[in-house]
Amino acid sequence: MYAVEYQKAKSAADASGLIAKSGGRALAGGQSLIGAMKLRLAQPGTLVDLAGIPELAGIRVESGTLSIGAMTRHADVAGSADVKRTIPALAALAEGIGDRQVRNMGTIGGSLANNDPAADWPAAVLALGATVITHQRRIGASDFFKGMYETALAADEIITAVSFPVPRKAAYVKFPNPASRFALVGVFVAQLADGSARVAVTGAAPSVFRAASVEAALAKAFTPDAAKAAHVDAAGLSSDLHASAAYRAHLIPVIAARAVAAA
Amino acid sequence: MGIAISMTVNGAAVSAEIDPRTLLVDFLRVNLGLTGTHVGCDTAQCGACTIHLDGRAVKSCNVLALQANGARVTTIEGLAGSGELHPMQAAFKECHGLQCGFCTPGMVMSAIDLVQRHPNADEATIRAQLEGNLCRCTGYHNIVKAVQQGAAAMSR
């Protein structure tokens, strides 16, 4: 990789200041960023390390919400008794990210800020209507994901935590690419506390999105058969050497049905 | 442009001035001469570079040395105490859990992390939990046997 400067931040505000001053990038777990730097797809002049900042750590259960600190490792979400008790679908999702070694380094905040088209966390955040909390503001899930690797975050804005409203039930199922294990299609289904059905899809398009037709079907009956009977249009879906847009469109109701069955 | 770094590697304090872009695996192999940790794919897929960072298995080709600043690192060289193999190393030897041996250091480090979390792991759990370690010789059958035997030995 190209030469890079390194600074360690003491707080989220400190990290923001260091990034604004240097034009650099935040380093969370580095499981996507370091690989991108090795390939020279990313060439930050400065890395500002967020490790060890107290305000980015911790998992808290408050009235009806589960809050996960931005620097929480996937493995720690997967193993958290609080997560398993309140929203077990999130623990299962975290346990399915990458492999054990990646889960031991990678963080929820890093994954969301990166917004990889096939990342798992964006589907959970969008389906549950979570709130992304930064050191400056609160961003609703529907306003956060802007496009491929693009979010509503300013360049010097630091995610501190994600707040998930506890749903009635939820589940995430992905159809992994056999080689990379990234989601070819991943579907997070949820029945929210108010009874509404939400369905978010990752891996199938440049950015995570809600599957309106599957949501409409599940609003009538939250059953696998209802999900499976929904029609998803292939327009706008990704087509690549792994799967055509039509195949991804076919997979979405199928995987959604499996998720409803698991919820 | 050097940055001071210090950590505990296999129980010994080490410190150096390094280029910030130095990967942890290169720090271990080049600066410290601990070449038991291998570089296989260099893209965080194969797991040959797996070490323990504060007791947890990570891929050292995908971690900056500076991310381990102040941490406790264990490599394959740190497992055998006073000339005796770690029970997991012994199990790999007895079960012939290796063919060419290139992936073995990473397999052993992942296996120990696995057994510490799942002391009674069944075969399916072992296979799933070793997803991040690839054996190019495809010697998985004996590797799984070795992990099971190593797990039993570690619990004694």
Report d(CA A240, CA A211) in Å as an integer: 20
All CATH 3.30.465.10 domain ranges in chain A, comma separated: 54-165
A137 touches chain B (CB under 8 A): no
Mean pLDDT of A164-190: 96
Query: What residue in B sits closest to A178 (Cα-Cα)?
Result: B131
Residue A180 has pLDDT above 90, yes or no: no
- The verdict on a CB contact (< 8 Å) between A101 and B67 is no
Token pair, residue B81, equals: 């105490």
Residue-wise pLDDT for A205-252, tens only, equals: 999 999 999 999 999 999 999 999 999 999 999 999 999 999 999 999
Residues B130 and B91 in one domain: yes
Quick one: pLDDT at residue B1? 58
Using an 8 Å CB-CB cutoff, list residues of chain B that contact chain A: 1, 3, 19-21, 23, 42-44, 47, 50, 53, 56-59, 62-64, 66-67, 110, 113-114, 129, 131-133
Range of the domain at B13: 3-76
pLDDT 10s digits, B33-48: 999 999 999 999 999 9
Q: Assess whether pLDDT exceeds 90 at residue A179.
A: no
Long-range pairs for A77-81: beta carbons < 8 A, 24 or more residues apart: A77/A108, A78/A103
Q: Which two tokens stand for residue A86?
A: 């309140």
ipTM above 0.85, yes or no: yes
* CATH number for the domain formed by residue range(s) A5-49: 3.30.43.10
Please check whether residues B91 and B151 belong to one and the same domain: yes
Q: Which residues on adjacent β-strands are paired with residue B12?
A: B9
| Residue B87, token pair as written in the block | 């029970």
Residues B97 and B60 occupy one common structural domain: no
Where among B35, B51, B76 does a domain terminate? B76
Beta bridge partners of B74: B52
Distance CA A14, CA A9 (A): 6
Distance from the Cα of A5 to chain B's closest Cα (Å) equals 6
Rounded Cα–Cα distance for residues A50 and A59 (Å): 17
| B94 plus B126 within the same structural domain | yes
**Do B102 and B70 belong together in one domain?**
no
Strands B12-18 and B50-53: unpaired
Same domain, B131 and B151: yes
- B56 and B113 belong to one structural domain: no
Convert the pLDDT of each residue in B41-75 to its tens digit.
999 999 999 999 999 999 999 999 999 999 999 99
Work out how many domains chain B is built from and give that number.
2
B116 inside domain: yes
Q: What is the pLDDT of residue B156?
A: 84
SS3 label, residue A189 = strand
Nearest in space to A220 (alpha carbons), one of A192, A197, A254, A249: A197
Answer for the pair B121, B82: CB distance below 8 angstroms, yes or no.
Answer: no
Residue A44 has pLDDT above 70, yes or no: yes
Q: Which of B47, B76, B105 is the last residue before a domain boundary?
A: B76
Residues A91/A83, Cβ–Cβ less than 8 Å: yes
CB B110 within 8 A of CB B50: yes
Residues B140 and B95 in one domain: yes
B82 phi, psi to nearest 5 deg: 40, 50
Tokens encoding A142? 């529907």
Nearest CA distance, B129 vs chain A (angstrom): 7
Q: Quick one: B139 and B93 in the same domain?
A: yes
- Residue B82 domain-assigned? no
Mean predicted confidence (pLDDT) in A130-146 = 98
Check whether A96 has a pLDDT greater than 80: yes
**Do B64 and B95 lie in a common domain?**
no
Whether B81 is covered by a domain: the verdict is no
Residue A7: φ, ψ to 5°: -135, 145
Evaluated on CA atoms A87, A92, A97, A100, the torsion sign reads positive
Domain A54-165 has CATH 3.40.50.920: no
Ranges of CATH 3.30.43.10 domains, chain A? 5-49
Integer Cα distance of A78 and A73 in angstroms: 9
Query: Which pair of structure tokens corresponds to residue A183?
Result: 């989601």
- On whether both B7 and B70 belong to a single domain, the answer is yes
**In-domain check, residue B134:** yes
Show which of B76, B100, B119 is a domain's final residue.
B76
Compute the distance between CA of residue B70 and CA of residue B15 in angstroms, rounded to an integer.
10
| pLDDT tens per residue across span B75-105 | 999 999 888 999 999 999 999 999 999 999 9
First to last CA, chain B: 49
For residue B28, the model assigns a pLDDT of 98
What is B99-149 written as a DSSP string?
SS-SSHHHHHHHHHHHHHH-TT--HHHHHHHTTT---TT--HHHHHHHHHH
For the domain spanning A169-262, the CATH number is 3.30.390.50
List chain A residues with CB under 8 Å of B19.
3
Is the CB of residue A8 less than 8 Å from the CB of residue A14?
no
Mean pLDDT of all residues in chain A? 97
Structure tokens at B41: 């794919």
Q: What's the CATH number where B117 sits? A: 1.10.150.120
